Structures are given as C-alpha cells and as structure tokens.
Amino acid sequence: MKTAIILFNLGGPGSLEAVKPFLFNLFNDKAIIGAPNPIRWLLAKYISAKRAPIAREIYRQLGGKSPLLEQTQDQAAALQKLLGNDFKVLIAMRYWHPFADQALREAKAWGAERVILLPLYPQFSTTTTGSSLKQWHQLAANSFGETRTVCCYPVEPGLIRAMAAKIRVEWDQAVGQGRPRLLFSAHGLPQSIIDKGDPYQRQVEQTAAAVVAELGIVDLDWAICYQSRVGPAKWIGPSTEDELHRAAVDKVAVIVAPVAFVSEHSETLVELDIEYRHLAEKLGIPAYFRAAAVSSHPDFIKGLADLVGDPGAARGKACGSQCLCKGEA
C-alpha cells in the first residue's frame, strides 16, 4: 500500500522579509490566541508588527533565516531512506512554507492510498500537534482511504536513546568541572493551557525521567525548566533563567539539554547557545554546556520508523484527554 508520511513541524521564516508574515500566521492561529475573529486577526497584526524587529535580529544571527526547514528535510530524507519506496515522506509546516496544503497535493499526486500523520513534537500540546492535526483534517477530509495518527511519543525508546547520547557527549566534558547539573529545557506554555487539560507538561516530565533512567548516572543532579516565555500571563515553571540563577547560587556547572525540540532553531541556537550562555557567564556559573538536539540521530530516525510501522505504539498512559490519536482508524 502506498503510504504518505506527513511530518509536521512549526516552520520558520526563509528570509528576513518573511519574519513578519511568519509571526502573523503564528499569532493568528486560534490554538495560540483563542480570541474570536476579527479580534484575533487584529491582535496578530499588532503583535507581529511589534515583535518583528526583535525576531529579525534573532534570525540575522542565524544567517538571515530559520534553519528548521533544512533540518526537517534532513530528517525526512533519513526516514525516507529507512522506509523505502512504498512510503513517501512529506513535510507540512504550520506557519511557513511548505504548508500542509502542499504536502496534501504531493501525497495525492503520488497516489497515496494511506497517510500516517507524524508530528515532530514528541510531547502533545493543543498549541503544536493539536493545531497541525486539526488543520490537516480540515484540508484533507475524505482524501485518503486510511489515515493514522501518531499524536505523541514522549518515551519512544529511539528518541530517549538519542537524547541520552547527545547528553553523554557534554557530560564527558562537563565532569571535568565537578559534578554538573543537567537542565532539561523545554518551550514553556501559559499555565492556563495546562489547566485546561493539555498534557504537554506531564509528557515533558515523562521524557526527562526516561532520559535520566537511560543515562544511568548515579545520583544525577537534574531539573526540568521552561524557556521562551512571552507576555504577562503566568507560565509554567520554573523558567530556565531561574534554574541558571539557582545553579549560580549552588556554584555548579550546568548541561542544558533541549527536551522538547528535536531540531536546532532559534530557541536552541540563539536562546540557549547565546542568550543563556551569556547569562551563565554573567552569573558566574562555573561552566555552561549545551547538549545538541537529536536532529537526524540514527536512533531517533529508527524510532520514527518504528512509529510508522505501528502508529498506535505510543498510545496509552502518555496520552492525555486532548490527544487526537483516539478514534483513528
């Protein structure tokens, strides 16, 4: 059976000129700003215009564009190689090209009889996976004979092994600075979203605990923290900044590991590598190390292939009430 694999991700601007429309698309998503239109549209116009200069400077530090598409293309190519010719791996970005409608057209043109929806977000959130899946179902209603969904995979063994392998590289260097603290940093969310039943925070905790178990380091000092906060609302915590302040007080080196990002992009390459590194130096933290995202690590790609082979394998206790894998045929 010809099966199209749709890889979902956030997307990122391909040029400095694309930053403002990218931000508009982001903030005009009802999953991000829940206000009805035209209020949401007006808010998106205002926020994107206000944030565009800051965001352009961030992407200027990355060479004038987001690296996310190229990283996702590498992941897609690696997965395609592993799966073979009966599958076609396509990319559907949420807020910038290539959008889901392009992936839908390509899947139809290829003659796909079945699609498997595979978000590159290990942990489910209504603001990420939920938004992408809802958009896909609106676009692709009744387009294929069978649709399967992998809604979340926070403790998928290949993912966990890949994360642990990336952390071990930094651990081997950091132990020369004494006993380091491992900080799992994830993108934050407003507390109000979690209070509505979003399983993201709980699944981040599951991922971190699974990686710690995989590392097998006796008496490992570790914590979970959240980055990228925007706006005045209360967000889940502690923040990554707060954890760096705590590490400074405790006079311990830190290894910061992305636990919800599977690719390198502005939140890792600028926020973690530049901004938080500078903060760590300013605070006098003995040493600052950053574990790489899993990207196209063979264990991670093999894990994705395993999920394609059994899309229901990741279901179970990890899934929350708002996960969208339930009821799929």
85-112 pLDDT tens trace: 999 999 999 999 999 999 999 999 999 9
- Quote the tokens at residue 296: 């196209």
Integer Cα distance of 8 and 167 in angstroms: 25
Residues annotated within the binding site for Fe(2+) are: 187, 267
- pLDDT the model gives residue 192: 97
Does 101 lie in the same domain as 7?
Answer: yes
Convert the pLDDT of each residue in 281-305 to its tens digit.
999 999 999 999 999 999 999 999 9
**Number of domains within the chain:** 2
Q: What is the CA radius of gyration of the chain?
A: 20
Degrees, nearest 5: CA angle 238-318-163: 65
Does 222 lie in the same domain as 126?
Answer: no
- pLDDT the model gives residue 190: 97
Q: Is the pLDDT of residue 321 over 80?
A: no
Integer Cα distance of 295 and 263 in angstroms: 5
CATH number at residue 219: 3.40.50.1400
- Quote the tokens at residue 155: 């403790």
Residues annotated within the binding site are: 187, 267
Integer Cα distance of 297 and 327 in angstroms: 31
Q: Is residue 241 part of a domain?
A: yes
Which domain covers residue 228, as residue numbers? Answer: 157-290
**Closest by alpha carbon to 235, among 244, 225, 243?**
225
Does 286 lie in the same domain as 303?
Answer: no
Q: What is the pTM of this model?
A: 0.94
Buried b (16+ CB within 10 A) or exposed e, 54-83: ebbebbeebeebbbbbebbeebbebbbebb
> Taking the CB of residue 251, how many other CB atoms lie within 10 A of it?
10
Report H helices in the chain.
Answer: 19-27, 39-60, 68-83, 100-110, 129-139, 157-174, 191-195, 200-215, 240-250, 266, 276-283, 298-309
Does 173 lie in the same domain as 137?
Answer: no
Q: Is the pLDDT of residue 322 over 60?
A: no
Integer Cα distance of 269 and 273 in angstroms: 5
Does 23 lie in the same domain as 84?
Answer: yes
Q: Is residue 314 part of a domain?
A: no
Share of the chain above pLDDT 90, in %: 91
